[in-house]
Amino acid sequence: MVFHHFWFSYSFGIQRDFSYFCILFIKFLKHIKKMFQRNYETVFILTPVLSDVQIKDTVDKFVNLLKELGADVINVENWGLKKMAYAIEKKTTGFYVMVEFKADPTLIRKFEVELRREEKAMRFLTTVLDKHSIVYAERRRKGEFNKKVEAKEEATK
C-alpha cells in the first residue's frame, strides 16, 4: 500500500508538470504567432443607399469580426460618400471605409470571404503594408498631412 501511494503521488507530480509544460508551450506558440503577424489595410466600398446607422453597423460588424479572428485593429477611417471612377452595380457613388489592422496571414482569407458574402459591400481591397507604408500610415493618423490645409485656412482668415 505504501508503494502504491508513492507511485500515485509521483505520477500526479509528473502529470502536473506536464500540464504546466503544455500551458507554457501554448503561450510560446501564441508569442511566435504574434511575431509573424503583418500589417494590413483594407478599403471597402459600401452601397450608397445605406443610412448612417446601417453604415456604422456594417463597419462595426467587420471590425468585430477581425477582433474575433485575433487581429489587432489599429485604425478605422470613414472617408464618407465619394464619387467612383466607374459605375459598380449601376451606382456611381459609395461610402468608403478604410480599416488598418495587424493580423496573421491566414486570417485574411476568412475576412475576405465575409466581405464577399456581405451584400452591402460592393468592392474591397486588402493590401499588405511594407515598412514605408507603416510609417506613412502613422504620420497620416497623427494628422501631419492636414497641417498644411489648416495653415491655409488660418491664412485666409
pLDDT digits (tens, 9 = 90+) for 72-93: 999 999 999 999 999 999 999 9
Average pLDDT over residues 103-119: 92
Average pLDDT score, the chain:
84
State the pLDDT at residue 76: 95
Chain Cα centroid distance, residue 33: 15
> Among candidates 59, 88, 83, which has minimal Cα distance to 73?
59
Lookup: cell for 31: 508569442
Q: What is the pTM of this model?
A: 0.71
Domain formed by 36-156, architecture: 2-Layer Sandwich (3.30)
What's the angle, vertex CA 101, arms to CA 110 and CA 38, rounded to 5? 80
Average pLDDT over residues 98-109: 92
Domain extents for the chain?
A: 1-35, 36-156
* pLDDT (tens digit per residue) in 1-38: 445 554 444 445 555 677 777 777 777 766 666 667 89
What's the angle, vertex CA 39, arms to CA 37 and CA 42, rounded to 5? 125
